[in-house]
Amino acid sequence: MGSIGLLLVCKVLPYLEQELDYHYTLFRMSDYPQMAQLLSHHAASIRAVVCNTRAGADAKLIEALPNLEIVLNYGVGVDGVDLNKCREKGIRVTNTPDVLTDSVADLAIGLILTLLRRICECDRYVRSGQWKKGEYKLTSKFSGKTVGIVGLGRIGLAIAKRAEGFNCPICYYSRTEKPESKYKYYPSVVELASNCDILVVACSLTEETYHIINRKVIDALGPSGFLINIGRGKHVDEAELVSALVEGRLGGAGLDVFENEPHVPQELFGLENVVLLPHVGPGTVETRIAMADLVLGNLEAHFHGKPLLTPICLTSDVV
């Protein structure tokens, strides 16, 4: 397959990059400061694109590659790919579901515990020698708190199962009610936020879920409520979140994702009731290798005429 041109748009695990380089004619976007330079020389030979949410495949890129057949998203959330353009041009799209679910759900629980028990603050308390001057203040208990999940998909469900282990009542809001689920469904995010202590955002980013966490939702969660975001930064109206935290209208926030990554609002840096992570949900060695293998497996399947391992269905009802 060495003669098949493949464009790598995003940063990936070195293992994946090496495999792509070995099996395909690899073009790295990072080698071309001007995209026009890359396209003028190689556009016609590129048949596959590997991308992610930060460095995606937008309509402009897709239009510029006349022989593009497949877009492989190195991640589960395909908000960085113009799915309508792919559907229009008959380009196949794959992602890396399931293999990252555990790592992201583990991290969500880690964020909750870190936030409620002030684990980062406690660590700094010990390191700075303050413990010798007195005990650390009391914090909030996680076990038994009601957890509300926005988006009861693969990751949302995995978080729910973990939270059950902490004896937390679980409720959720999703695009559709899940009759088979034993968890309580609320028909709106505001109602969900009004009825839980910890609101976890785990839905996919679409036009409908952009700023799904707005002032109304934050106010419904209130000064004793906590927001956890392991979905996408754009799910949350960040300006509203910052002002709610600064003004004490929200109890706290644990955030793995931000609206304008890697930029994080400076106002959050001085607050002890926030935990800030650099978008590391699936960032474990085991998970990244499994994601890489899915990308490689999908590529091989596509170019050998076999069924894709994890295709995105491009019918109009899911885009």
- Contacts to ligand NAP by CB under 6 A: 76-77, 97, 100-101, 104, 151-156, 174-176, 202-206, 208-209, 230-232, 256-257, 279, 281-282
Residue closer to ligand NAP, measured from CB, 6 or 264: 264
Closest approach of ligand NAP to the CB of residue 5, in Å: 28
Residue closer to ligand NAP, measured from CB, 202 or 242: 202
Distance, in Å, from the CA atom of 124 to the CA atom of 293, rounded to the nearest integer, reads 39
Closest approach of ligand NAP to the CB of residue 123, in Å: 23
Catalytic residue among 47, 92, 232, 235: 232
**Active-site annotation holds for 267:** no
**Active-site annotation holds for 263:** no
Residue closer to ligand NAP, measured from CB, 70 or 212: 212
Q: Cα separations (Å) of 149 from 168, 171, 273?
A: 12, 6, 20
Catalytic residue among 87, 117, 279, 300: 279
The pair of three-digit structure tokens given for residue 307, joined into one six-digit string: 């069924």
Residue closer to ligand NAP, measured from CB, 46 or 257: 257
Catalytic residue among 63, 261, 272, 286: 261
Q: Nearest Cα to 252, choosing from 217, 221, 278?
A: 221
Closest approach of ligand NAP to the CB of residue 65, in Å: 25
Distance, in Å, from the CA atom of 53 to the CA atom of 143, rounded to the nearest integer, reads 33
| Shortest-Cβ-distance residue relative to ligand NAP | 153
Q: Do residues 115 and 166 make contact, with C-beta atoms less than 8 angstroms apart?
A: no
Distance, in Å, from the CA atom of 171 to the CA atom of 151, rounded to the nearest integer, reads 11
Q: Please, is 313 exposed, middle or buried when counting C-beta atoms within 10 Å of its C-beta (0-12, 13-18, 19+)?
A: exposed
∠91-92-93 over CA atoms, to 5°?
120
Residue closer to ligand NAP, measured from CB, 77 or 148: 77
Distance, in Å, from the CA atom of 307 to the CA atom of 301, rounded to the nearest integer, reads 6
Distance, in Å, from the CA atom of 82 to the CA atom of 91, rounded to the nearest integer, reads 11
Closest approach of ligand NAP to the CB of residue 77, in Å: 3
Closest approach of ligand NAP to the CB of residue 97, in Å: 5
Q: Nearest Cα to 28, choosing from 52, 53, 11?
A: 11
Q: Which residues are catalytic?
A: 232, 261, 279
